[in-house]
Chain A
Amino acid sequence: MAHDTGHNESATKRIWSVFGILSIVTIAEVILGIIRPEFLIETMFLRMRLLNWIFIILTLYKAYLITWAFMHMEHEAKGLRRAVVWTGIFLVCYLIFILLTEGDYIFGVYHNEYQSWDF
């Protein structure tokens, strides 16, 4: 289509380098998931274990690479990119915020034994 034949070599190279990065990140995640280093589990940051923060950030990085490189979002027009990505990110953040806040509240209700949960 719009692609000229000149930069095809670099396109293939980019695909393989992205695959390399995705593999390394996945292997790192699995190793961390099996070892579960003590200090990463015990250190809390913003009420969540540091290990979980690492997993989530690495996941977002992988998602970015897949969308930008494999789905060619980097070559799309700015309008299309923003319409898809910003809408998604805004709504997902909102949903996560309200649901996790509510879940945490219910946990508190059970935990403080206003309601007996284990009888």
Chain B
Amino acid sequence: MDATAVRTGTEGKTWGGDSHPLKASYGKMMMWFFILSDALTFSAFLAAYGFSRFKYMDEWPIADEVFTHFPFLHGVDAPMYYVALMTFILIFSSVTMVLAVDAGHRMKKSSVIWYMFFTIIGGIIFVGSQAWEWANFISGEYGAVETKAGRILQFVNAEGEQVALESFAADLPTERVMLTKSDALWYESDATLPDFYLEEIVEGFKANPDLLIRTELLNESNEKTILSRAESLERLERDAIGVVQGANLIHNEYGPPLFADFFFFITGFHGFHVLSGVIINIIIFINVILGTYERRGNYEMVEKVGLYWHFVDLVWVFVFTFFYLV
């Protein structure tokens, strides 16, 4: 049978087959294309976040007022310091990772082991920090009141500093007891009751004449609008329907619930990547110790997991900017 291949005159060219136009091994090339697709997933999340933010342009929470905690410094207002530290830990674990890859090129097994060890430790510290950040966000700080339209009203003193609900709420007698599954029907129970009732907040607000209400609306100098005393009282009486403490997927004391939704979803998805990166790093780490790559004659697996690890760092650089800075 005759050869059916047609000679096109391009046999010597790069794409004529039998050559390696991308000059990368199959595994490394596929890791790059996986990273490309994952990068598009993250961009889609961040662009959706941008969409919601543009939609609520004049009432989005100010990150400096939301993330103000630092471990062991209770009550100290430390905007962003801890996130900055987390960013450093992740960048530094990226550095030790690239040093491990570099040591792998030189076939230095013990250096690869140590650098990978530090990378894994950095990753674990980062995931732990993120969990701590979540815990603070979920438990909230000052508490707020939600309106019929789902807007948030926060309380400030005469200096414009936020005031916690427990510092002014009146103590009214109540007979409302949380319904648990053991009380009545086994399938009926209450959501956790708030620490205060709306009536207690309203009474307490009336009793403290220097308290004012701060709305979500941003003014020209990018600060939240503070209502006058008369407006505050009117707004509270007319619109308030409930008390919000902390944040979950439905209620958020810091502002639009969408802010909390995107925060949980994007940092959660990123945290999941860090976690899987740590696990893959541990697998490769064990293989390095066992001498698998020494026998194989190259440390390219370290390079591939390194690509993934740097990608996780790369995503965090963007998450940091769009959640905490901009």
Is the pair B95, A19 in contact by a Cβ cutoff of 8 Å?
yes
Is A102 positioned at the interface, with any CB of B under 8 Å from its CB? yes
Distance in angstroms from A18 CB to nearest chain B CB is 8
* B87 partner residues in chain A, CB cutoff 8 A: 26
Q: Return the CB mask of A1-37 against B: 1 if under 8 Å, else 0.
A: 1010100100110011001001100110110111010
What does DSSP make chain B's interface, helix, strand, loop or mixed? helix
Known: A19-B92, A55-B325, A99-B51. A77 touches B39 (CB 8 A): no
Q: Which of B124-132, B171-179, B226-234, B305-313 contacts A (4 or more CB under 8 A)?
A: B305-313
Which of chain A's residues has its CB closest to B99's CB?
Answer: A15
Is the pair B98, A104 in contact by a Cβ cutoff of 8 Å?
no
A24 vs B253: C-alpha distance when bound (angstroms): 34
Is the pair B151, A118 in contact by a Cβ cutoff of 8 Å?
yes
Is the pair A80, B55 in contact by a Cβ cutoff of 8 Å?
no
Is the pair A76, B23 in contact by a Cβ cutoff of 8 Å?
yes
Q: Return the CB mask of B12-25 against A: 1 if under 8 Å, else 0.
A: 00000000011110
Is the pair A26, B102 in contact by a Cβ cutoff of 8 Å?
no
Is the pair A92, B91 in contact by a Cβ cutoff of 8 Å?
no
The one of A19, A71, A106, A117 that contacts B149, using a Cβ cutoff of 8 Å: A117
* A117 partner residues in chain B, CB cutoff 8 A: 149
The one of B22, B47, B314, B324 that contacts A80, using a Cβ cutoff of 8 Å: B22
Known: A1-B105, A79-B22, A107-B54. A92 touches B40 (CB 8 A): yes
What does DSSP make chain A's interface, helix, strand, loop or mixed? helix
A115 vs B165: C-alpha distance when bound (angstroms): 32
Which of chain B's residues has its CB closest to A61's CB?
Answer: B317
* A119 partner residues in chain B, CB cutoff 8 A: 148-149, 239
* A74 partner residues in chain B, CB cutoff 8 A: none
A13 vs B22: C-alpha distance when bound (angstroms): 27
Known: A11-B102, A84-B33, A104-B54. A33 touches B314 (CB 8 A): no
Is the pair B36, A84 in contact by a Cβ cutoff of 8 Å?
yes
Is the pair B307, A41 in contact by a Cβ cutoff of 8 Å?
no
* A112 partner residues in chain B, CB cutoff 8 A: none
* A29 partner residues in chain B, CB cutoff 8 A: 321, 325
Known: A15-B99, A63-B318, A104-B54. A84 touches B32 (CB 8 A): yes
* A118 partner residues in chain B, CB cutoff 8 A: 147, 149, 151
Is the pair A52, B88 in contact by a Cβ cutoff of 8 Å?
no
* A69 partner residues in chain B, CB cutoff 8 A: 98
* B98 partner residues in chain A, CB cutoff 8 A: 15, 69-70
Known: A12-B102, A26-B91, A66-B94. A103 touches B53 (CB 8 A): yes
* A76 partner residues in chain B, CB cutoff 8 A: 22-24, 32
- Interface residues in chain B, defined as those with a beta carbon under 8 Å from any beta carbon in chain A: 21-24, 29, 32-33, 35-36, 39-40, 43-44, 47-48, 50-58, 64, 79-81, 84, 87-88, 91-92, 94-95, 97-99, 101-102, 105-106, 147-149, 151, 220-222, 239, 298, 300, 303, 306-307, 310-311, 313-314, 317-318, 320-321, 324-326
| The 10 residue pairs across chains A and B that have the minimum distance between CB atoms | A103-B54, A77-B23, A103-B51, A99-B51, A80-B22, A59-B321, A30-B84, A92-B43, A103-B55, A99-B47
Q: List 11 A-B contacts (CB under 8 A).
A: A3-B105, A26-B84, A30-B84, A42-B220, A71-B306, A71-B310, A76-B32, A77-B22, A91-B43, A104-B57, A107-B55
